[in-house]
Amino acid sequence: MTSDADRMLPSREPVMLLDPDGRPTVAARAGLPASEELLRGLAGMVVARRFNEQASALVRQGRLAVYPSSYGQEACQVAAAQVLTGEDWLFPTYRDTAAAVARGVDPVEVLGLLKGDWHSGYDPYERHVAPLTTPLATQLPHAVGVAHAARLRGERTVVLAMCGDGGTSEGDFHEALNFAAVFRAPVVFFVQNNQYAISVPLARQSAAPSLAHKGVGYGIPGEHVDGNDLAALLDVLSGAVGRARAGEGPQLVEGRTYRMQAHTNADDATRYRADDEVAAWAAKDPLVRLEAYLRTEGVLDDARAADLTEAAEQVARRTRDGLNQDVEPDPDDLFRFVYSQPTPQLVEQLAVVRDEISRDEQSRDEQSREETR
């Protein structure tokens, strides 16, 4: 880390390597990520877009209780997963389901929490993806703890912790940054600034020049990047991860993007934002931007684009089929995962629940026998 405040400050404007029409910017003269990495990113974004659409449809069909869509934020979602290695950890929020899928978590398991079937929905240790977190920013101190522990053990692990612009208003955000800076934890804080905390616009949340500037007060270098430009995201986030891995301490990255859809299916976004505002951001669609560039470069053609679409459709089909299966809950799970060793109180409560279930089953059996006489 550096005590030079000037070196901590983000660039004057968000880093952009591809403009909304897919043309390389002046900043791209220093180089773009490899075409293979960009094509891999596009494939991930096509899956993420289709996954968002399918999950929203499952809400309307009653298969999900709620779904906070990341439609329009796919570049941030995919880049966050793509810059990490297998030994690294991802700490997502409730909106980062597409990032978890991009990290390799089964899409059906990712949605398990939002369906209400399971405590987390997936095994966090399998893909090094922490549980989706609904309370704002509470995952950030946990992420710093994992990063600090890895550093003490001499591991090369880096933790990428995601949050939204609304999360930066929480005490956990500030505590996590201070903790990380003091102990030089190898963690990258990635703020997806989608312009709204539910209905509260960014201007009512912060008076800072950018959310990336918030790192300076803790001694953490910050950078902001066009959150709809996958090329720029890969460049900035991979650089931040590399510095954290090299022992330079925590990094803060703000991705400026936009929540194209409502906060969740229970929200009416038309009550607090205008249609022309949404239309202006729709013109900056991250998928359209990257596809235009890759087609110009001859990396993408219609046949390959069709393959990407079919692969995404397979994910949607598997998600749809999995969520349409009814799960028989095991009441013991209410107690099985509270502590590694159950307390006497839990053992007692489990016995009560089992007894109530047993008596209920006996009562139904007796009623059935009465009806058949």
Closest CA to 188 of 290, 76, 97, 107: 76
Decide the pairing of beta strands 89-91 and 222-226. unpaired
Residue type, 152: L
The angle that helices 35-60 and 302-323 make with each other, rounded to 10 degrees, is 40
Among candidate residues 49, 50, 263, 289, the one labeled active-site is: 263
Neighbours of 207 (CB within 10 A): 6
- Give the integer Cα–Cα distance in Å for 369 and 373: 7
Among candidate residues 272, 317, 336, 354, the one labeled active-site is: 272
- Distances in whole angstroms, Cα of residue 37 to Cα of each of 42, 240, 272, 290: 9, 17, 38, 12
- Give the integer Cα–Cα distance in Å for 21 and 285: 9
263 has catalytic annotation = yes
Q: What is the DSSP string of 55-82?
A: HHHHHHTTS-S-----TT-HHHHHHHHH
Give, for 196, the enclosing helix (H) or strand (E): strand 196-197
Among candidate residues 94, 259, 289, 293, the one labeled active-site is: 259
Show which residues are catalytic: 259, 263, 272
